[in-house]
Amino acid sequence: MDFELNQEQKMWQRIVREFCESEVKPHAAEVDETGQLHWDVIRKMKDIGLNSLEVPEALGGTEVDTISIVIAMEELGRACGSTALSLAAHNGLGCAPIKRWGTPAQHEQWFPSLISGEVLGALALTEPNAGSDLLNGVQTFARREGDEWVIDGSKAWITNAGIAPVITVLCRTDKDAGARGFSMLLVDTKSPGLTIHPPEKKMGLKGSPTHMLSLDGVRVPADAVLGEVGRGFHQTMATLDNGRIGIGALSIGLAQAAFEEGVKYAQQRRAFGKPISEHQAIQWMIADAALEIDAARLLVYRSAWLKDQGKDFTKQAAMGKLMATEVAERVCKNAIQIHGSYGYSREFPVERIYRDQRLMSIGEGTSEIQRMVIARRVLQEFS
């Protein structure tokens, strides 16, 4: 077993970390306070390829391996949760399905704008009554009329919808075909009948815009189907497997940021005549955080490695996402505990990081769904 990054990955990690430290992290508090992404920074990301991680080089993208995507997401999460989430959604949910199932014409139509640094991509799965249960809950329906699809329905909690040129929308295209009755359709956000509602007011990740969508007779060309008609549900499951690796990495970044802040504060703060880092209760928090972050990182990296090797990674991606998101919650909670009252103040980053991490065990499948995925795979292995 080789747990070392190769030379190219090490160089990539250094480049991304330096960029995040100098360009992303200094604006993290401002992004949270204003609820706006820092677009000057996102435009600069084009120069190192952070907004084209899934796009082939022949189309102007970076197309790095999955481990390198994990490296990027962790470093972004360590710097700014809002920016990291929007970039994770852009790369893993917005660009990746188009790369994987799109036609050459769809690539040429959408990738130039998606990697320009002026917009970010989006995927619309969730509905007001369909979160984890997409198979039974999705009601957005697309009917074929001549050379067009006509879409009616609504979507909820869609990251980047208001800043995307195109949204991949999961629709029912056959109400009687079960899992074969879904298709993904590419919807131009300028399409008549599409309403992108104002951003949701959220607990955290305030700079990453999340919207509700209404689709009222939205017409798209017949060739707007992504991949095959009837394969949308299977494409969604594959996309979520991939996305869980990214969210796991992002969660590790958030945990790492809180951990570093906690250790730094513990070494500075004095109580009972010595730095609180010398008190056993604080040392146990530090030890637990170091242990759990390392364990979660190994799980996430393993799932990324399996994907790069062309092996099945569904169970491992769920395990990594579950572990990383729940570790982030514990580490961020204890980082606030180490700070005491100051940890509850906006003056210190751990308050923001704690709010940002809370979504991670909900989005891309809740912790409960991850446990179901893992258990089903384990039971299949024993059958």
Active-site residue, 292 included: no
**DSSP alpha helices (H): ranges in 80-116?**
81-88, 96-101, 104-114
Q: How many CB atoms lie within 10 A of CB 223?
A: 12
Please state, in angstroms and as integers, the Cα–Cα distance from residue 259 to each residue in 20, 137, 288, 334, following that order: 17, 39, 10, 9
Cα 282 → chain centroid: 32
- How far is it between the farthest Cα atoms of the chain? 80
CA dihedral 308, 365, 331, 72 (to 10 degrees): 40
**Are 220 and 226 within 8 A, CB to CB?**
no
DSSP-derived letter for residue 199 is P
Catalytic residue among 127, 364, 368, 381: 364
Quick one: CA dihedral 26, 32, 36, 37, positive or negative?
positive
CA distance 111 to 102: 11
Which residues have a catalytic role annotated?
A: 364
